[in-house]
Structure 1
Amino acid sequence: MLAPASRNKVSRWLAGASVVAFLVSLVLPAYQTNRYGHLHNHSGLEAFILGPIGLFAGHISWAANAVLVLSLAKRTSPHYGLSFVLALLA
C-alpha cells in the first residue's frame, strides 16, 4: 500500500496524463466514413460533440466520457477506490 503522500503524487500524475490523453484524442481522427467513394475523416472533437445523440440510439460508448470525469472528481475523496473502479469502467 502506498503512503498517502505517494498516492497523491501518483494520483495527480495519472489524472494529468489522463486529461492530456483526452485532449489529444479530440484533435486526432476518430473515425472515417465513405460516402459515394469519398473518404472523410472525422475528428475526436466532432465525435465528442455529436456523441450524446448516439445515446438515443442505444450507443452507450460516449457515456465513458462522463464516467471518466466522475472518476477524476472522486480521486481526492476518502473513497478513492471508487475512483479506480470508475476509471476502469471508463
Structure 2
Amino acid sequence: MTKKEQLDIKAFGLSTGLIWGLYLMFLGWSASLGWGVPIVYAISTLYFGYTPGFIGGIIGGVWGFVDAGVAGALFAFLYNWLTTKLKNKKKK
C-alpha cells in the first residue's frame, strides 16, 4: 500500500477533534441564549463540566477535542491497518 492511500493519523485525529470541539463549544455558547439546551444537557452526561454558557462551552470544547481526537486517530490507524492487511491478502 502506498503512502498516498493511507490516512495521516495525526492530521485525521486533529481535524476530527477540532471539528467536534468547536461544535460543542459553539453549542454551549448558543445554549446560553436558549438554543439547544436539551442537547447540551444530554451531552453533559458524557462530558463533566459541560453546561450552557461561556465557561461550560470552553470545557465542552476541550472535552470534545480530546475525545474526538483520540477516536479519529484510532479510526485512521485501524483504517490504515485493515487496508494494508486486505491488500496483502489480495496479493497472495
- What is the TM-score of this pair, normalised by structure 1? 0.37
In terms of Rg, which structure is larger? 2
The structure with higher relative contact order (CA 8 Å, sep 6+) is 2
More helix by share: 2
User: What is the TM-score normalised by the length of structure 2?
Assistant: 0.37
Structure with greater strand share of residues: 1
